[in-house]
Amino acid sequence: MRELGAQIAEDYADRDLLLVALLKASFVFLADLSRAIPITHKIDFVELAGYGDASTGGHSRVRLLQDTAIPLAGLDVLLVEDVVDTGLTLNYLCKLLTLRNPASLRVATLLDRPYRRLVEDLPVDYVGFTVPDEFFVGYGFDIDERWRNLPDLRLARV
């Protein structure tokens, strides 16, 4: 976490940084990442719902449930994701937020599975860990809203 925070602070020194986290799974990562970024920054949230066929690990459609409260125009926005898999949800959100004219838009993720991408050229700028195709619980990750509170990531036995 310290390494990610230091790199982000270096990249965004003297800029107006806004961290935008996707609820719910990324809230724990956001809290730790925010504390590891030693420069002034703002925090906001979005919440998305996926629906349709989830057989690929993503959803065929995405709906915005909660929008940012802070206007993005002119801000350097860093999306904070829990895990990037197919990239379908992240691609939707990047396109949506780009329409709001941020100064820049980049992505930080705790877990990355680049081998599962269905979206070409999806930029993921800061990666905590590249992980195998396993399901995790803890550290904000859940199964049916359970086990988010575990202090670390654990392989789920589903």
Residues serving a catalytic function are 85
Count other C-beta atoms under 10 Å from residue 118's C-beta.
13
17 backbone dihedrals φ, ψ, rounded to 5°: -90, 135
Rounded alpha-carbon distances, angstroms, from residue 124 to 15, 98, 132: 20, 15, 17
Q: CA 133 to CA 115: how far, in whole Å?
A: 9
- Rounded Cα distance between 53 and 147, Å, is 25
Asked if residues 19 and 43 have their Cβ atoms less than 8 Å apart, the reply is: yes
Phi, psi (5° rounding) for residue 126?
-130, 125
